[in-house]
Structure 1
Amino acid sequence: MKKILFTFLFALLGVAFLATEEVQAQVGNKYYYKKTTPRRGPHNHKWVWTKRRQYVSVGLNVNAMNYFGDIVPKPSFWSTDLRFTRPNIGIFVEKKFRPQFSARLGLNWGRLLSYDVETADPADSHDFFRYIRNAHFRNDIFELNTTFRWDLMSSERLNKEFYQRPKQFVPYVLGGLAVFYHAPKAKAPETKIGGGSPDWGAGEWTDLQPLGTEGQGREYINFSGDTVNLHNKYSKVQVAFPVGFGIRKKLSNRIDIAFEFSYRFLLTDYLDDVSRNYLNLGVFGDDELAKAFHDRSLEGDRYATLEEMAGNGELYSLLNRYSYTGIDGQQYNTFDGFGSDPYIDPSIRGNQKDNDVYMLTGFHLIYIIPPHGVRCPVRFK
């Protein structure tokens, strides 16, 4: 009888022990796995996600930076001039919250650049207008971004400790929110609108936003006697929405490398300081520098150059020069349609219907910080 009783008590203790171990695995968060069906071998277990598997990584990204806006080869969303590709570098910290989901906080710097006389085809019936416009810009972008990554691989294959990441390439998509600071600049014209030597540093890179080169922040009285208030100056701090995709590869227990492409969709059309229409130059009053930046089509001896190009067939057509009286009473010269009086709607300087975009393409080097040190999985203990 005692033998039967002891056997029964040992059986109860065994069941209690197994039950306790099961609870610890699921609730106590002490172990990395829980038992499934009665044990039949040393590897009869199922991996489960726990907070201990979350980890933080830091990284460096080196990118090529391009933009789509008003100073590009074609009015197509994918159009950009690769000759003006510029570097973009950044640092970031990233945390893996779930097997497929991670969040990243990053800081980037990069430069955008483009020239009408380089990107526009002067012999094309559409592009030659932009060639005559003669605009250019340079813009340094300082960006703080938060992006979220979703790995396109099953959670079972990704549900690993940091040192057990899949060896295969892991594709992913990303999206998020960014805030950036920008200040478009251009080289100061070498002549005034009416001719003569300027009283500014010709050829120096000049901040365009304070000038309001499209009349921002100004008001004037038109020929009908009505007061016209132009739109406000754009902000140098803007919002962007990163959207993209990438592919990541494990190099070692603590190092990954990734290749990534992303668009930054913007709420501004002024990365290049070009967006709206030409204005009657009298709007700018005595601000000669703003006038010179607004209409650069006849800058210096450019008309003679364009005339020669038209004669050689290099320019699709040469627009007629036009002289008009500005609302300030002064005489101005420009091309037909470039803000001249006969046009009810001034000719287009930029396309305000499409906001600008910039793109990042490059490599990310990622170092994983182990949360609890490198530990041997429980099944090998």
Structure 2
Amino acid sequence: MPKFVLFALLFIFSYHVQAQTWEVGGAIGGAGYIGDLNPNNPVKISGGSAGLYVKRNFDGYFSAKLNFGYAKFGAADSTSSSQQFRDRNLSFTDGVMELAVIGEFNFLKYIPDAGPNKFTPFIYAGIGVSTYDPRTTYNGSTGSLRQLKTEGQKTQYGDNTMVIPYGIGVKYNIGGKFSLAADMGYRYTFTDYLDDVSGTYADKSKLTGVARALSDRSGEKTGVYIGSAGTQRGDLKPRDSYFIVGLTISYTFVTKRCYFQN
């Protein structure tokens, strides 16, 4: 477990205020990404997501949770409205697993079945780590791209990255200690390889086999390849991001006595 996650967990379990409650929940929804194959649409959903969390609520306004999530997304140049992208003809899918510690702030005091408000908007931010593994389909088979080093890298890029989750949502007490929440959150990552695309085309004379074929897919249909060594392959931005939008249902272990004792 990353040290920053362990430290945050120790803080959550040791923090003491008068009114503390625990909450558990599960989420399901959609996911998408912003990167070299989708640089301009920050709300384009291309896959699904699911998650589980354990949260500690401190006072009706502030809380912290340990969140585990999975998101799948992808993109294909062949579906782009840009002729330049269609000519490039790259594609990928990726599935990320995320473990994060997230702090949350309610704009209204919110205590299911015990507080004055039935709903509240909220914001959140945190820190975590995600694994990733971009894949693509070639000649009817789907395989991982990392080990192919399609941009001529000397070493493979990593299989995990730190992420900074942040987002906004609204939650509603649907009955008793149950809540329903809708939120949208982005994950700023520290990698440009969620999609296996980052910088420039490799010198194909130094690549072999499948790596050579997947480094430049522009001529698969036309026979005309545009990926000259050193020319732009990605958008040259240093980071990719992904986002999750969905619904969460949760149960809060809370008593009125806990919150309204003198």
Structure-2 residue corresponding to 1:351: 235
> Which aligned pairs between 1:288-327 and structure 2 lie closer than 5 A?
288-299=209-220, 302-303=221-222, 321=224
For residue 363 of structure 1, what is the amino acid of its counterpart?
L
For residue 293 of structure 1, what is the amino acid of its counterpart?
L
Deviation (angstroms), 1:51: 3.8
Aligned-partner Cα distance in 2 for 1:181–1:244: 20
Deviation (angstroms), 1:71: 1.2
Deviation (angstroms), 1:352: 2.7
Paired residues, number: 246
Deviation (angstroms), 1:252: 2.2
> Which aligned pairs between 1:140-179 and structure 2 lie closer than 5 A?
140-153=95-108, 157-158=109-110, 163-179=113-129
- Write out per-residue CA displacement over residues 61-81 of structure 1, whole angstroms, 9 at most, x where no aligned residue: 112101111112xx42x4454
- The normalised TM-score by structure 2 is 0.87
Identity within the alignment, %: 26
- Write out per-residue CA displacement over residues 138-159 of structure 1, whole angstroms, 9 at most, x where no aligned residue: 1111111111001112xxx55x
CA contact (8 A) 1:165 1:250 kept: no
- Write out per-residue CA displacement over residues 152-188 of structure 1, whole angstroms, 9 at most, x where no aligned residue: 12xxx55x6x531233321111000121111100012
CA contact (8 A) 1:166 1:250 kept: no
> Are residues 250 and 278 of structure 1, via their aligned partners in 2, closer, same or farther at CA, if it must alter by over 3 Å?
same
- Write out per-residue CA displacement over residues 179-199 of structure 1, whole angstroms, 9 at most, x where no aligned residue: 1111100012xxxxxxxxxxx
For residue 273 of structure 1, what is the amino acid of its counterpart?
D
2:8 counterpart of 1:58: no
> Which aligned pairs between 1:260-275 and structure 2 lie closer than 5 A?
260-275=183-198
2:152 to 207, 215, 225: 215
Point out the structure with max Rg over C-alpha.
Answer: 1
- The normalised TM-score by structure 1 is 0.61
CA RMSD of aligned residues (A): 2.1
2:55 counterpart of 1:105: no
Gaps of 5+ in 2: 1-15
2:250 to 349, 366, 376: 366
> Are residues 52 and 252 of structure 1, via their aligned partners in 2, closer, same or farther at CA, if it must alter by over 3 Å?
farther
CA contact (8 A) 1:116 1:131 kept: yes
- Write out per-residue CA displacement over residues 109-141 of structure 1, whole angstroms, 9 at most, x where no aligned residue: 1211111101x22xxxxx222111111001111
Deviation (angstroms), 1:259: 0.8
Structure with more of its chain in strand, by fraction: 2
Gaps of 5+ in 1: 1-49, 122-126, 189-201, 218-231, 305-320, 322-333, 341-345
2:228 counterpart of 1:339: yes
